[in-house]
Amino acid sequence: MAATEQSQPRRTVARTTCYMCACRCGIKVHLEDGRLRYIEGNRDHPINRGVLCGKGSAGIMTAISPARLSTPLKRTGARGSGAFEAISWAQAMRIATERLAAIRASDPGRLALFTGRDQSQSLTGHFARMFGTINYAAHGGFCSVNMAAAGLYSVGGAFWEFGEPDWEHARLFLLFGVAEDHDSNPIKLGLARLKQRGAKILSINPVRTGYSAIADEFLAITPGTDGLLVFALIHCLLEAGRIDAEFLIRYTNAHHLVIDAPGEAGHGLIARDAAGRQLCFDRASGSLLEAQASGTDPALLGTFELADGRRARPAFALLAERYADPQYAPEAVAGRCGIEAAAIRRIAAEIAEVAFNQPVVLEQPWTDAAGRRHAVMSGRPVAIHAMRGVSAHSNGFHTCRAIHVLQMLLGAIDTPGSWRYKSPYPKPIPGGPAPGRPRAPGGPLDAPPLGFPRGPEDLLVDEAGEALRLDRAFSWEAPLAIHGLMHMAIARAYEAGPEGIDTLFLFMSNMAWNSAMNPGETTRMLSECDEQGNYRIPFVIVADAFSSETVAYADLVLPDTTYLERYDCISLLDRPIGSAHGPADAIRIPVLRPDRDVRPFQDVLIDLAGRLGLPDFADEQGRPLYSSYAEYMVRHQRRPGIGPLAGFRGEDGRAIGKGAPNPRQLERYVENGSFWRHELPHEQLYFKHANRAYLAGAKAMGLIEDDAQIVLQLYCETLQRFRLAAEGHGAPRPPPRLRERITRFFDPLPIWYVPLEEAMTDREAYPLHAITQRPMAMYHSWGSHNAWLRQILPENRLYLHRDLAARLGIGDEDWVWVRSRSASLRCRARTMTGVNRDTVWTWNAIGKRAGAWALSHDAPEFRRGFLLNHVISEYLPKEGGAAPQSNSDPVTGQAAWFDLTVCLEPCAPGTPDETSPRWGTNPLRVRQAAENDR
């Protein structure tokens, strides 16, 4: 070997948490003489058990990326020009503090704080709450809020990261719309385990990449029709009488009686007794009884008379009637879904076979919420996972709810072999307090800015019913927008003008580029001035570690560290790393010392909060409470005994979940590999929503505040409350222009409709669906400045089915025009067979804006890489004279990225071999300030 013997370098290994994507794997970072040598998975870590993906393995190159920002910057040229002046942190903090203090003194809502995939939302959200602005959101609104909201309002958990299949017992696994996303390494490990066990994996996705490539069966579904497919499966199961009635009456509200009084204020609500308890009809006694009482024989079908004479029907009866309708027969939906009716029937039969003929029975006694002891845990080994393919459509909320309904009908929620909750889920439904609002002018909000409306009374609307929030979350335009509408932030700030928003504060979010629908228009909004040269969005602060496209549009740049240079907290208050086996959380620790004048953003935010004297960040004399994030992580208490980290609490470090702050907590985490995990006893591993021991334990740990059974919401009464308001009952009521919309989309049982944009587009002119997939070796825009990852994907192609390509006369590597109703783009095509025949797709976030990310001016990312975003509009087409609606799910405000339809044409000979549109700025030009007052 080539190695020459030299003096042995000093080798050390630090255990911390990866951040090359949002997966939060445990890593072992090997250092030689303090320099990065090697990063590998931590075998002891519950998330990745030693494995590490390509992104995580490339962390070394991100740590030395030339795109790292190196000093605070103040803009000197026009926005977007890239001209900046280097300033000191003292100057930077002074500018930010003065600006924010002035806003807070007048109208705190004029600060809009939007953050990306930053995993510190419990901190950033708390900052916004204490600052007193409702204009706060993180990236969930354009990622997966449909999954989160549908799940949290239906089953008290969600797909996304809040649940996982029972990899050890599932026999059939259905994967809806999952590309290489959440949870990347756990899913890969799980798929391998299923394969090893011989379970069947069925992927339902327009595109066959990654996980779908190894599926035992792949159904190339037409985008946006998953809900119909699920209804057809439900239809077949109902037809065959293959449902788990026992599960329904014990764990869901299927037997709850729904008032049938059309036109009246109570119509569609659950019938309740005088004490407010839901009612059912007990067949044994022939009377109305408390629905949650045990020992009854509740009716699931029929019509019953309530004490007040109104009629009521079990929720299940409404459901059965709806989905038994021939319009949901496989034969009726096959054409639309692009899947043969026979295949749908066969899959329904396979589901029924596995669920009902091959139940998994674990010899594990447990006690249910009613106090009954069960000798075994018996479950239906049909597991389902769904993600962005379902989420990113404007019918995604209902589609996701449809999937949860299917799970409930099968008895496949948190039972052996099925989909399981990850701790700290399940949570009571809905999952938390209503969205916060200012208690007093200029004061903090009474709850976190992102919350869970239980009815119209929780909306953030003015007297006319119009939105109070900048992004119109929690308004009648998006009532259950529990993650906000980040994709609308810049457009709405532009609309609002300087009176509405003064400062747009962005953290770790590339909102001027790949996180924007229509980046060209977005950057125009950011750069537009009035005649006096004042920007319409007056001040933009960007905090980021790298020179993204957005940095060029900032007035003030706060340079962050890389993930190897700071503390972070993966908290139970935020997006924890728990699993079905128990709660867990983790930290990141600084492994490298920054070689630049940068500071961890969390430290900066806490510093800023201290300087502003925000409650919870400063004492009553206005003195800062915390000197760093590390200190905040240990000492901050959200509620008594509950802090950012749940492990090693209490004076002695032995309390779990709840306990006094432990000054040695971080040391204990470091000793433990930078994570903490609590293994649930076997008795608590399933039926968590109704498992007495689990619920009591979760309450003791502070995971939930109420240990009552969590009744799964087959029928979502909350939705009906909004609908009743639209029908003129109660207050507040939607403005007239939105009433029809609310009535239509707030159906308490899942519905399917053609995605909004698609329905408003001329499908003859734009016959093809266009979607993106996330590549496994690249996390959004995070990898393009990584010297290894960009060798894998420095540019992207538009993939289309070979038959479609032949029809259009398009060959591999040909340049084509992609046209949507709003714009056109030019890119290169590649043909394949593993794709729905009417769908084209590409990898997400590969195209870059020239000048960004410290790449050379002729980098392929600029010349041939492209964003599909360019042909997506953040607004739906105008209807009549009304202002256009946002391109979002009408229930949750989820960005409807995948509703796009396009047409394709080959480029004429002689067209330049370059993507279009192409914009470029100069690379960042930083002038060193003559005087540095640092």
Partner 1 sequence: MSTLPERPPGAKRLGLVIDLDTCVGCHACAVNCKEWNTGGEAGILPDYDKYGPEPDGVWFNRIHSYETEEGGCSRTVNFPRSCLHCEDPLCVTVCPTGASYKRAEDGIVLVDTDKCIGCQLCSWACPYGARELDEKAGVMRKCTLCVDRIYDESVPQEERVPACVATCPSRARHFGDLADPESEVSKLVRERGGADLLPGLGYRPTNKYLPPRRARIPTAPAKPPAPGAKGIGAALLGLLDKALSR
Partner 2 sequence: MKPAASVLLLTTSTGFGFGLLAWLGAYAALGLLPRAPVLVAAGIVIALIFTSTGLIASMFHLERKERAWRAFTQWRSSWLSREGVAAVLTYPVAIAFGVAFWRGGPPLATRLLGAATLLASLGTVYCTAMIYASLKPIRQWHNAHTAPDYLLYAVFSGAVLFATLRTAALGEPGAMASAAAAAAAAAALLAKRAYWRHIDAQAPLATLAAAIGLPQGIEARPLDAPHFSENYILRQMGFAVARRHAAKLRSLALLIGFALPLALSVLGALAPAPMLATTLALACAALGLALERWLFFAEATHVSALYYGRRI
List of residues contacting partner 2 (CB under 8 A):
791-795, 830, 832, 834, 860
In angstroms, rounded to a whole number, what is the distance separating the alpha carbons of residues 532 and 171? 67
Out of 100, 111, 148, 191, the only residue in the binding site for partner 1 (CB under 8 A) is 191
Nearer to partner 2, 382 or 793 (CB): 793
Out of 98, 305, 308, 321, the only residue in the binding site for partner 1 (CB under 8 A) is 321
DSSP bridge pairs for 312: 259, 304
In angstroms, rounded to a whole number, what is the distance separating the alpha carbons of residues 417 and 165? 7
Q: State the maximum Cα–Cα separation within the chain, in Å, rounded to a whole number.
A: 93
Out of 168, 239, 495, 914, the only residue in the binding site for partner 1 (CB under 8 A) is 239
- Say whether residue 293 binds partner 1 (CB under 8 A): yes
Q: Considering Cα of 89, then 91, then 96, then 101, what sign does the dihedral take?
A: positive
Do residues 394 and 757 lie in contact, with contact meaning Cβ atoms separated by under 8 Å?
A: yes
Interface size with partner 1, residues (CB under 8 A): 105
- Say whether residue 263 binds partner 1 (CB under 8 A): no
Task: From residue 224, give the alpha-carbon distance in Å to each of 232, 336, 757, 872.
Answer: 15, 10, 11, 16
DSSP bridge pairs for 87: none
Q: Which helix (H) or strand (E) holds 92?
A: helix 89-106
For Cα atoms 639, 642, 644, give the angle at the middle one, nearest 5 degrees: 115
- Say whether residue 541 binds partner 1 (CB under 8 A): no
CB of 167 to partner 1, least distance (A): 12
Q: Is 841 helix (H, G, I), strand (E, B) or coil?
A: strand
CB of 793 to partner 1, least distance (A): 9
CB of 340 to partner 2, least distance (A): 23
CB of 482 to partner 1, least distance (A): 30
- Say whether residue 777 binds partner 1 (CB under 8 A): yes
- Say whether residue 250 binds partner 1 (CB under 8 A): yes
Nearer to partner 2, 430 or 794 (CB): 794
Strands (E), 779-932: 798-801, 815-819, 824-832, 839-843, 901-906, 925-928
Q: Which stretch binds partner 1 (CB under 8 A): 41-49, 421-429, 539-547, 556-564?
A: 41-49
Task: From residue 151, give the alpha-carbon distance in Å to each of 337, 422, 516.
Answer: 23, 13, 26
Do residues 808 and 768 lie in contact, with contact meaning Cβ atoms separated by under 8 Å?
A: no
- Say whether residue 765 binds partner 1 (CB under 8 A): no
Out of 263, 326, 881, 910, the only residue in the binding site for partner 1 (CB under 8 A) is 326
CB of 245 to partner 1, least distance (A): 6
- Say whether residue 45 binds partner 1 (CB under 8 A): no
- Say whether residue 788 binds partner 1 (CB under 8 A): yes
- Say whether residue 52 binds partner 1 (CB under 8 A): yes
* Neighbour count for residue 86 (Cβ, 10 Å): 17
User: Residue 504's closest CA among 136, 192, 252, 832?
Assistant: 136
Out of 98, 102, 283, 913, the only residue in the binding site for partner 1 (CB under 8 A) is 283
Q: Is 211 helix (H, G, I), strand (E, B) or coil?
A: helix
Q: Which tokens belong to 484?
A: 């906000």
Q: Which tokens belong to 434?
A: 């209503």
Task: Give the number of C-alpha atoms closer than 13 A to the C-alpha of residue 204, restricted to the C-beta side.
Answer: 28
The option from partner 2, partner 1, none interacting with 54 (CB < 5 to 8 A, set by class) reads partner 1
Do residues 600 and 631 lie in contact, with contact meaning Cβ atoms separated by under 8 Å?
A: no
CB of 835 to partner 1, least distance (A): 10
Tell me how long the chain is.
934
Touching partner 1, residues 349-408 (CB under 8 A): 349-350, 352-354
Nearer to partner 1, 51 or 87 (CB): 51
Touching partner 1, residues 195-234 (CB under 8 A): 195-196, 198-201, 208-214, 216-218
The option from partner 2, partner 1, none interacting with 51 (CB < 5 to 8 A, set by class) reads partner 1
In angstroms, rounded to a whole number, what is the distance separating the alpha carbons of residues 449 and 459? 12
Classify burial at 4, counting beta carbons within 10 Å of its beta carbon; exposed 0-12, middle 13-18, buried 19 or more.
Answer: exposed
DSSP bridge pairs for 36: 31
Touching partner 1, residues 457-476 (CB under 8 A): none
Task: Give the number of C-alpha atoms closer than 13 A to the C-alpha of residue 385, restricted to the C-beta side.
Answer: 33
Phi, psi values for residue 869, rounded to 5°: -50, -30
Nearer to partner 2, 244 or 795 (CB): 795
Nearer to partner 2, 791 or 911 (CB): 791
Touching partner 1, residues 853-872 (CB under 8 A): 854-856, 858-860, 863
CB of 220 to partner 1, least distance (A): 10
CB of 211 to partner 2, least distance (A): 16
CB of 26 to partner 1, least distance (A): 13
Phi, psi values for residue 320, rounded to 5°: -60, -40
Nearer to partner 2, 468 or 798 (CB): 798
Out of 24, 74, 313, 345, the only residue in the binding site for partner 1 (CB under 8 A) is 345
CA 302 to chain centre: 39
CB of 846 to partner 1, least distance (A): 13
Q: Which residues contact 10 (CB under 8 A, 6 or more apart)?
A: 32, 33, 34
Phi, psi values for residue 825, rounded to 5°: -145, 155
The option from partner 2, partner 1, none interacting with 845 (CB < 5 to 8 A, set by class) reads none
Q: Tell me the one-letter amino acid at 715.
A: Y
Touching partner 1, residues 19-38 (CB under 8 A): 32, 37-38
Nearer to partner 2, 619 or 812 (CB): 812
The DSSP letter of residue 596 is S
CB of 397 to partner 1, least distance (A): 26
CB crowding 59-78: b at 16 or more within 10 Å, else e: bbbbbebebbbebbbbbeee
Nearer to partner 1, 13 or 700 (CB): 13
In angstroms, rounded to a whole number, what is the distance separating the alpha carbons of residues 10 and 8? 6
Do residues 42 and 13 lie in contact, with contact meaning Cβ atoms separated by under 8 Å?
A: no
CB of 248 to partner 1, least distance (A): 9
Nearer to partner 2, 44 or 217 (CB): 217
Nearer to partner 2, 209 or 894 (CB): 209
CB of 875 to partner 1, least distance (A): 36
The option from partner 2, partner 1, none interacting with 795 (CB < 5 to 8 A, set by class) reads partner 2
Which residue reads 């538009």 in tokens? 798
* Neighbour count for residue 462 (Cβ, 10 Å): 10
Q: Which stretch binds partner 1 (CB under 8 A): 120-128, 146-154, 194-202, 901-909?
A: 194-202
The option from partner 2, partner 1, none interacting with 301 (CB < 5 to 8 A, set by class) reads partner 1
The option from partner 1, partner 2, none interacting with 99 (CB < 5 to 8 A, set by class) reads none
DSSP bridge pairs for 461: 467
The option from partner 1, partner 2, none interacting with 420 (CB < 5 to 8 A, set by class) reads none
- Say whether residue 245 binds partner 1 (CB under 8 A): yes
Radius of gyration for the chain, computed over Cα atoms and rounded to the nearest angstrom: 27
CB of 97 to partner 1, least distance (A): 36
- Say whether residue 409 binds partner 1 (CB under 8 A): no
In angstroms, rounded to a whole number, what is the distance separating the alpha carbons of residues 528 and 383? 50
CB of 310 to partner 1, least distance (A): 23
CB of 791 to partner 2, least distance (A): 5
Nearer to partner 1, 51 or 895 (CB): 51
- Say whether residue 8 binds partner 1 (CB under 8 A): no
Touching partner 1, residues 798-857 (CB under 8 A): 832-834, 854-856
Q: Which helix (H) or strand (E) holds 200?
A: strand 200-204
Q: Is 405 helix (H, G, I), strand (E, B) or coil?
A: helix
- Say whether residue 90 binds partner 1 (CB under 8 A): no
